[in-house]
Amino acid sequence: MDNSDLINRFRGALLGLAIGDALGTTLEFQPKGSFAPISEMIGGGPFNLKPGYWTDDTSMMYCLAHSLVRRKGFDAEDQMKLYCKWWHDGIFSSTGSCFDIGNTVKQSLTIFERTGEPFSGSTRADSAGNGSLMRLAPIPLFFHDDFSKAVHYGGQSSKTTHGAIEAVDACRYMSALIWGALNGVSKHDLLDGVYEAEEGYWSKHSLCESISKMIKSGEFKNKSADEIRASGYVMHSLEAALWAFYHSDSYKEGALMAVNLGEDADTTGAIYGQLAGAYYGEYKLPFEWVRKLKDYHVFYLKAEELKQVV
């Protein structure tokens, strides 16, 4: 893959995540079927945001990306320090303050501030939320030349705030998919069974049963929108994102399918958006949505930094 195509996909992944987040915030917390579907980025929602303003998904993604760049590698402690700066001081927030933070994230950051332990995510099964999956994109971007590291550190990036096995393995597998999309793998190959860039990788580094079953069965391919949930549970989020990616032929079509599921719409949009953005690239994102995105230029800059850091 030439350099121009790769940076196009880097930009697509970061912008795609942020756009999905900003698009979905309008419908956040609304039950599926209780609203008129949206077709444009209009803002509003529970936080009454201006069109193009993002939520915690993008703020935490930017914290993660900034840490990878400034530390020139994976540094869990530095990531947690930046998450805390966002929480307390509003850095990398679209509004300048932290107006939305998940309970699992807040609990983990509280533990980190008290103990200094960066891997503070609860391992309880009932804590398998989507708060680590929503911010994941910078990991496979930074490790775009090493599949094994991309998958490994995808999981490690979850453990800082979400240590439940389903959350960790959802991040590991999504990191693999984004890695493949960055490297030009076709949608068919990404979604046809369990994708792996290294033969036998998952037999050596197995996924938990629930994630493995979902991917191997491919049941999401045959489900209707009525059968897809978009709650804060990571298994629902992963399935919803893959469903929207599979059933669409463009970033815009899939993004609208994802967010119009309602419930945790901004996060479903962000999770879909990072994968679809890496796959389609920045050139194929709706320009009117890119232009409307708050401070959209910072995502171009961070994509360049992530690619160039050594």
Sign of the Cα pseudo-torsion (88, 98, 92, 263, in order):
positive
The per-residue DSSP string of 10-33 comes to: HHHHHHHHHHHHHHHGGGTTPPTT
Average pLDDT over residues 174-186: 98
Quickly count: other Cβ atoms within 10 Å of residue 199's Cβ: 7
Q: How far apart are CA 70 and CA 68, in angstroms?
A: 6
Residue found by looking up tokens 């549970």 in the block: 233
**CATH assignment of the domain containing 106:** 1.10.4080.10
Closest CA to 203 of 190, 194, 213: 194
Cα separation values, 181 from 7, 21, 63, 202, Å: 12, 20, 23, 18
266 in a known ligand binding site: yes
Residue 2 scores a pLDDT above 90? no
List helix spans (H) across the chain: 3-24, 56-71, 76-89, 103-115, 138-142, 147-159, 165-182, 187-191, 201-204, 209-217, 234-246, 251-259, 265-280, 287-292, 297-308
104 in a known ligand binding site: no
CA dihedral 249, 251, 252, 253 (to 10 degrees): 30
55 in a known ligand binding site: yes
For the stretch 65-81, pLDDT in tens is 999 999 999 999 999 99
Residue 203 belongs to some domain of the structure:
no
Residue 112 belongs to some domain of the structure:
yes
AA letter at 4: S
Q: What is the pLDDT of residue 3?
A: 83
Residue 310 scores a pLDDT above 60? no
Tokens of 234: 């990571």
DSSP tag of 283:
G
What's the domain range around 42?
A: 3-197+209-309
Query: Residue 122's beta-bridge partner residues?
Result: 162
pLDDT band at 4 (very low <50, low <70, confident <90, very high): confident
For the stretch 6-23, pLDDT in tens is 999 999 999 999 999 999
Cα separation values, 60 from 33, 68, 106, 196, 206, Å: 29, 12, 12, 27, 27
Quickly count: other Cβ atoms within 10 Å of residue 216's Cβ: 11
For the stretch 226-271, pLDDT in tens is 999 999 999 999 999 999 999 999 999 999 999 999 999 999 999 9
Structural domain count of the chain? 1
DSSP tag of 129:
B
For the stretch 280-307, pLDDT in tens is 999 999 999 999 999 999 999 999 999 9
For the stretch 108-165, pLDDT in tens is 999 999 999 999 999 999 999 999 999 999 999 999 999 999 999 999 999 999 999 9
25 in a known ligand binding site: no
Give buried/exposed letters for 56-73 (b at 16+ CB in 10 A, else e): bbbbbbbbbbbbbbeeee
160 in a known ligand binding site: no
Q: What is the pLDDT of residue 308?
A: 85
Q: What is the mean pLDDT of the chain?
A: 97
Residue 204 belongs to some domain of the structure:
no
Tokens of 243: 């469903």
DSSP tag of 219:
G
Contact 61, 14 (CB under 8 A): yes
Q: How far apart are CA 49 and CA 46, in angstroms?
A: 8
DSSP tag of 63:
H
Q: How far apart are CA 256 and CA 56, in angstroms?
A: 20
Residue 64 belongs to some domain of the structure:
yes
